[in-house]
Amino acid sequence: MSKVLYIKANAKPEGISRTFKLSDSFIEAYKSSYPNDEVITLDLYKENIKPLTEDDISAIYSPKTDQSRNHPVLRYAYEFAEADKYVIAAPLWNLSIPGILKLYFDYVTATGITFNYTSGGGVAGLLENKKAIHIVTRGGEYSEPPMSEYEMGDKYLRVLLGFYGVNDISTFAVENMDRSDTNVEAVLEKGVKELQEKAKDF
């Protein structure tokens, strides 16, 4: 049985968000294919996530003990480490991820939980055999150069997840959502169908 962490990062709710229309369809199809798996939904806007305080930073970088699992600041890092699969739903905002998702990863990136410093002065990810999908919609198009250089949301997620040791990462992007000549409903329906297929093998 796998544990799936479904991380939702958007101020716009279900029914409004195009990204969530895609990602919710993916999750529903996944649940049908894997009814015994546990899916934990983390809607970051409902979590009241705040920027790290100085005390939070101490907790994140201090040595971990048997009691650390119960520390409220470390909750997101342990929950992340204990999951097997990640579904990250985040639209492109200002060439990157929504700020709340960055705040969330500031909690997840904790020594002794998702990564560690090595004796040689380097860093090592602590997560193994995990997989992730980033589901994203974008107003414009960033799939080809030179615009692909401007896209730093998916790039950031890939580098950060790789830093934790998560290397099996896929991206499902639906672009040109804000172009007047895009038939948004039709493009989303096509995306939903493709994702329903992808969910069977996730």
Ligand X SMILES: Cc1cc2nc3c(=O)[nH]c(=O)nc-3n(C[C@H](O)[C@H](O)[C@H](O)COP(=O)(O)O)c2cc1C
Is 12 among the residues that bind ligand X (CB under 6 A)?
yes
Tell me the C-alpha distance between 3 and 93, whole Å.
Answer: 28
Residues 39-98 that bind ligand X (CB under 6 A): 91-95
Q: How many C-beta atoms surround the C-beta of residue 180 within 10 A?
A: 4
Minimal distance in Å, beta carbon 188 to ligand X?
Answer: 9
Nearest C-alpha neighbor of 80 from the set 165, 182, 174: 165
Nearer to ligand X, 9 or 127 (CB): 9
Nearer to ligand X, 91 or 112 (CB): 91
Residues 14-33 that bind ligand X (CB under 6 A): 17-20
Query: For residue 52, with 0-12 CB atoms within 10 Å meaning exposed, 13-18 middle and 19 or more buried, which class applies?
Result: middle
Is 99 among the residues that bind ligand X (CB under 6 A)?
no
Strand ranges, E, within the chain: 3-8, 38-43, 85-89, 115-117, 123-125, 131-137, 168-174
Tell me the C-alpha distance between 49 and 150, whole Å.
Answer: 27
Q: Is 18 annotated as a binding residue?
A: no
Nearer to ligand X, 5 or 100 (CB): 100
Residues 120-179 that bind ligand X (CB under 6 A): 137-140, 177-178
Binding residues for FMN: 137-140
**Residues at the interface with ligand X (CB under 6 A):** 10, 12, 17-20, 91-95, 137-140, 177-178
Binding residues: 137-140
